[in-house]
Structure 1
Amino acid sequence: MDFGRILVIMGIVLVIIGLSWSFIGKLPGDITFKKGNTTVYFPIVTSIVISIILSLIFFIIGRFR
């Protein structure tokens, strides 16, 4: 794989991450507990979405090898 193609793929990945950055941590299903001065945050759905996206990216990259 040549260097130009790798840069294009990395650019596309960075654009996707940049566009979705405002949604990270605000998905329905993420659990937040607030009590007094303490906040506990469990980003369950966000973790699942990130896992699916990364799996798809690595699958696509693997297909071009």
Structure 2
Amino acid sequence: MNPSLGKYLMGIGLLLLIVGVMIYFFSDKLHWLGRLPGDIRIKRDGFGFYFPVVTCIVLSLLLNLIIWLVRRFF
């Protein structure tokens, strides 16, 4: 097995831990996430459908910006 694979897995695990802690402690400040204008929400009797279109786009842009900054400076 490749030793660098272990480093990548540990890095991903650490990143997930940091994101999880941030969500745990700051969830009351992130209540807008998933309720942006443009998110599709349909509620009917016995049926509910939710598709966060705009939230996915915003998170994708933020993630791409973070990845671009990391690649630029490291």
| TM-score where L is the length of structure 1 | 0.67
Give the match's secondary structure for 1:28. coil
Rg larger in 1 or in 2?
Answer: 2
Identity over the aligned pairs, expressed in percent?
40
- When the two chains are superposed, the root-mean-square deviation of aligned CA atoms in Å is 2.6
Gaps of at least 5 residues in structure 1 are: 1-9
- Residue equivalent to 2:71: 62
Structure 1 stretches of 4+ moved >3 Å: 16-20
Count of residues in correspondence between the two structures: 55
Where relative contact order (Cα < 8 A, 6+ residues apart) is larger, the structure is: 1
Give the whole-Å Cα distance in 1 for the aligned partners of 2:64 and 2:34: 19
For 1:55, the aligned partner's letter is: N
Question: Which residue of 2 is the match for residue 27 of structure 1?
Answer: 36
Q: 1:1-65 maps to which residues of 2 (within 5 A)?
A: 14=19, 18=26, 21-65=30-74
